[in-house]
A and B are shown apart, each in its own frame.
Chain A
Amino acid sequence: MTIKLEIKNVSKKYDNGDGIQDINLEVQAGEILTLLGPSGCGKSTLLRSIGGFESVTEGSISIDNQDITTLPPEKRPTIMVFQGYNLWERMTVFENLEFGLKLRKIPKDERKNKIADMLEMLGISAMAQKYPQQLSGGQQQRVAIGRALVLEPEILLLDEPYSALDAKIRVQMREELKKIQQKLKITTIFVTHDQEEAMMLSTRIAVMKKGEIVQVGTPSEIYNSPADIYIASFIGQMNFLNQENRIIAFRPEDTEFVSVNENNSETFDGVIQSLTQMGHYTQLFVTVASETIILFGSKEVIEKYTVGSKIVFKITKKLSFEKEK
């Protein structure tokens, strides 16, 4: 594995105190790394710093061992797909893709071929002569990705590219992006606040909180061993139970329903508040002491239990965190 992008001790402070602090990150060639976090956590600031749209206060950014910290966006080998696409509305789809190629002084015939191939790959060949306003959101999104990829950047930056699309198209676009990325092997940095999207797309995820990276790992590492309660609650469904001075956390699927309480620290009594058939599994809302948790059981569970009845369950896999003071 070769390191494509190296971020060392990068900080960016805004006058209002927001920003990012002491970011260290290495991105491998050919991977999709997702910056995940709630809005205002600094993920977009970090991405814009990589793209050259924000000048960093401290630290260095290098691509292929070349320091690019002070270069303007036009001199960097990165291309960004913006939130809301930002196609140039006075240019046709073809011209949108051609603009960057022209600046790179690529001969006319070659430009035509490259653009035709790209539009073909994205399935929007018929749209070449249309203007962005005449396209649907999904099509505009494809053009925006095509405009970036046609320039064969070293690193593709995506800033919440699907936030303007409706749910169904979003899922479809994710699949497409993943396929294209696997085909082109292009190093990709993807910013999102949607944990599901991050889990689905990423080779690795960097979880951000208040301007810092709190954990970097593969989706399963992040899901199975979150570094703290914040990450645990942010990724996937997680239950928390207070136990003396600690908090134990477990996934709704990591439980077994048993008949007898063995009175150990893994087994709990609860009262069923609701039972819902979710298809191939049953979702139960259960109160333990005064806390409500969610459990998943097999689809047969709904026939064995009723609302209001007692349930005994054993946690098969749990995490334990110290209580935050």
Chain B
Amino acid sequence: MSRRKFILNFSILFIFTFFMYGPLLNTIMLAFATQYQAPHIIPSAFGFTWWKNVFSQGDLLQAFFNSFLIAILATIVSMIICLPAAYAIARYEFKGRSWFLFSFLLSNAFPKIGLYTAIGIIFYKLQLMGTLTGVVLINVLNTMIFMIWIPIGAFQNVYKQQEEAARDVGAGPIRTFFKITFPSALPAIIVAAMYTFLGALDESQGTLLVGFPQIKTMATSMYGIILDQSPMVGAIFAILLIVPAILILWICYKFLGKKSILQQLFVK
């Protein structure tokens, strides 16, 4: 490799890395700062002062708890609604099947805020505004695409004859699903659940619109924090949000192995 090419390659890598990891590093740095003034790059003092501050704010801890509760509920509800649908789409040919599948993409292509306004009107009528149910529903809606699309592929990969063989030896349709189909599709379902969970943990727009002011999550609290509190609180919050995400990714990685995870992401 010529010297010039090397320098060019290195610069591209450097710029890419800087944009990718720069904000992340800055956030981590800010989280452990005690004093920071805007034009400076490096904070003037480090410490845990702001961490103490965050953990003493009761409503922030409540938000932390809410975030997890909503993410867990959204994942469970999403599985209950979407897995049977995914199975039906994977197994049965029916009119409008591809249109139905495509419509899931379409709802994600819409500007979210427009969608939420329409949902808001319905939720007001159903008295779901400001309730946990409403917020969970909004999160299910947002993450449905993962719980439908990923398991469809997984269910299609389970040969129909594998199910027929189970029916043949005496298992009814429900037992066949749980003993044969579900275990085979489990890696994909875990990945879908991971996406749903992380998506719900991070979701702010819908939660803010439907849940405010009764239901506050970490993600919605960020809005207030950024406006009212010091940047260090925001950074600490970001880290609190990112830690469970990394933890879950790591667990999935350990449990399923690198190959399986990449396969579910359609990477060969």
Contact = CB atoms under 8 A, between A and B. Distances in A.
Interface string A188-232: 000000000000000000000000000000000000000000000
B168 interface: yes
A155 to B, nearest CB: 12
A84 B159 CA distance: 11
A100 interface: yes
Interface string B152-171: 00000001011011111111
Contacts of B112: none
Contact of A104 (B162, B165, B170): B170
B165 A82 contact: yes
Given A84-B161, A86-B162, A89-B184, A73 B167 contact: yes
Interface string A36-60: 0000000000000001110000000
A88 interface: yes
Contacts, number: 55
A64 interface: no
A103 B169 contact: yes
A86 B165 contact: yes
A73 B180 contact: no
Interface of B is mostly: helix
Interface residues on A, range: 20 to 34
B244 interface: no
Contacts of A147: 165, 169
Most B CB contacts (10 A, CB to CB) among A72, A74, A87, A151 go to A74
Given A99-B169, A100-B170, A90 B164 contact: no
Contacts of A51: 168
B178 to A, nearest CB: 12
Interface string B52-92: 00000000000000000000000000000000000000000
B53 to A, nearest CB: 51
Contact of B164 (A73, A103, A104): A73
A119 interface: no
A284 interface: no
B164 to A, nearest CB: 6
Contacts of A83: 161
Contacts of B169: 74, 79, 99-100, 103, 147, 151
Interface string A100-141: 100110000000000000000000000000000000000000
A95 to B, nearest CB: 10
Nearest to A78: B168
A79 B168 contact: yes
Contacts of A52: 167-168
Given A86-B161, A86-B162, A89-B184, A72 B179 contact: no
Contacts of B168: 51-52, 73-74, 78-80
Contacts of A72: 167, 172
B171 A90 contact: no
Interface in B164-195: 164-172, 175, 179-180, 183-184
A74 B167 contact: yes
Contacts of B170: 74, 100, 103-104, 151
A151 B165 CA distance: 13
Nearest to A159: B161
Nearest to A150: B169
Contacts of A99: 166, 169, 171, 179
B167 A86 contact: no
B186 to A, nearest CB: 9
Given A90-B183, A99-B179, A82 B171 contact: no
Given A51-B168, A83-B161, A84-B161, 10 more contacts: A53-B164, A53-B167, A73-B168, A79-B169, A80-B164, A99-B169, A99-B179, A103-B169, A103-B171, A103-B175
Interface of B: 159, 161-162, 164-172, 175, 179-180, 183-184
7 contacts: A53-B164, A79-B168, A82-B161, A86-B161, A86-B165, A90-B184, A104-B170
Interface of A: 51-53, 72-74, 78-80, 82-84, 86-90, 99-100, 103-104, 147, 151
